[in-house]
Amino acid sequence: MASSEERGRQASIDGFAHEHMVCGILMKRYQNVSLVDLPLSPYDIIIVFKNERDEEVIIRAQVKTARTSVSFTGGTRGGVDREYKSGVKTYTQSTKTSDVVIGYKPISDDQFELYFVPTILIEKWNNKSKSLNLLSSLKNNYEILERCKDKEFVLEKAKEYGLV
């Protein structure tokens, strides 16, 4: 059995790998996508595309590994250096910190699911996480990703999906 330190190290590596994988997946679809190389940033990826009205849309996305649920918190340390104490405080994602949380659920080495959770909903729920079972309508739902900043649309869809 792996030691606690080894499990922590692997969790840290997995998190970084999942960010890169999500970035690559989104890049194939939207082209103008980049990882954010800012250590204190509350988001991991920037997505830029033109909407149906030919307006530029910029989305700030936070990637979270999701096995049974998606966590909406940030600011905590993970992996091998999780004992590190910094001035950074734990926070729950909101429209102030990012536009969408992307839950990356690994199924196998080459299979996965993406759950697009707009921070508009996270603020409404006022929870620190949600079960993937409850979020099934957001799985691979690229329309939700593309319109995650459109409050009226997000809330209308959330009602339709039984999320609010």
| Tens-digit pLDDT profile for residues 57-93 | 999 999 999 999 999 998 765 544 445 555 557 889 9
Confidence (pLDDT) at 82: 47
DSSP state, 9?
A: H
What CA–CA distance (Å, rounded) separates 18 from 49?
Answer: 22
pLDDT along the chain (164 residues), means of 10: 81 87 96 92 95 95 96 72 58 95 92 97 95 98 98 98 96
- Give the closest residue to 100 by CA, choosing from 151, 50, 56: 151
Confidence (pLDDT) at 80: 47
Q: Are 92 and 72 in contact (CB under 8 A)?
A: yes
Confidence (pLDDT) at 85: 54
Confidence (pLDDT) at 159: 98
CATH number of 4-161: 3.40.1350
Confidence (pLDDT) at 3: 84
Element (H, E) at 125: helix 119-125
- Give the closest residue to 127 by CA, choosing from 152, 161, 163: 163
Confidence (pLDDT) at 21: 94
Q: E strands within the chain?
A: 32-35, 45-50, 56-65, 69-71, 73-74, 91-92, 100-108, 111-118, 129-131
CB atoms within 10 A of CB 116: 23
For residue 45, list its beta bridge partners.
Answer: 35, 61
Confidence (pLDDT) at 8: 80
Confidence (pLDDT) at 87: 56
The strands making up 56-65's β-sheet, listed across from edge to edge, are 32-35, 45-50, 56-65, 100-108, 111-118
Q: Which amino acid is at 96?
A: K
Domain extents in the chain: 4-161
What CA–CA distance (Å, rounded) separates 127 from 79?
Answer: 23
Confidence (pLDDT) at 78: 53
| Predicted model pTM | 0.89
Confidence (pLDDT) at 1: 63
